[in-house]
Amino acid sequence: MGPGLTFVIEAQPYLNAVLMPLGLKVMCFKACTHYPTLFDHFQRELREVLQDLQNKSLLQDWHQPQFWKQLKTLANSASSSGQKDSLPLPNTVQGVLGMDLDKVKAMQQRIEDFTNHMSELLRIERDAELEFT
C-alpha cells in the first residue's frame, strides 16, 4: 500500500463499516478523506495492537516486526509527512467550497444585484396594484 490517495482508498471500506454520528456526516467525510488524519490513526491503532500482543507475550518486541518498520519508514518519508507540500502557496484565501475570495465576492455581488432588481420589480408591481385599486 502506498502513501496518499492509495491509502485513503484502501481505508474506505473499513471506515464505512462504522456508522457516522447524526449531524456530523460532513465532518466525518472530511476526516475519511484526509490522508494525514487517517495515517495517524492507523499508525496509533497498529501500535496499540502490537503493544497488546507484547503484553500477552505473543510478540517479543513490538518495535521489531518488519511491517512496523516499513510503516515508520513510510511515515518519515517526504511523501507522507507533507514536506513536498511545504512549498509557499500563492496568497489566495479559500472559501468554504474551495473557491478563491475574488470569485466568492463576484458571486455575492451578482446575487445582491439580482435581489435588488427583483425587489425593485416587486415594488413597481405593488405600486401599480395600489394605483389600480
Average pLDDT over residues 17-28: 79
Q: Are residues 76 and 92 in the same domain?
A: no
CA atoms in the 13 A half-sphere facing the CB of 58: 6
Q: Distance (Å, rounded) from C-alpha 31 to C-alpha 41?
A: 11
Q: How many domains does the chain have?
A: 2
**121 vs 19: which has the higher pLDDT:** 121
Domain assignment of residue 92, given as a range = 88-133
Q: Are residues 83 and 93 in the same domain?
A: no
Q: Are residues 66 and 55 in the same domain?
A: yes
**112 vs 29: which has the higher pLDDT:** 112
pLDDT bracket for residue 84 (50, 70, 90): very low
Q: Are residues 100 and 40 in the same domain?
A: no
Nearest to 21 by CA among 34, 5, 32, 9: 32
Nearest to 4 by CA among 32, 39, 42: 39
Q: Are residues 60 and 102 in the same domain?
A: no
Q: Are residues 73 and 95 in the same domain?
A: no
Q: Are residues 3 and 45 in the same domain?
A: yes
Cell numbers representing residue 111 in the block: 446575487
> Quick one: how far is CA 64 from the chain centroid?
33
pLDDT at 95: 53
Q: Are residues 59 and 110 in the same domain?
A: no
The string of pLDDT tens digits covering residues 32-68 is 777 787 778 788 888 888 888 889 888 788 888 887 7
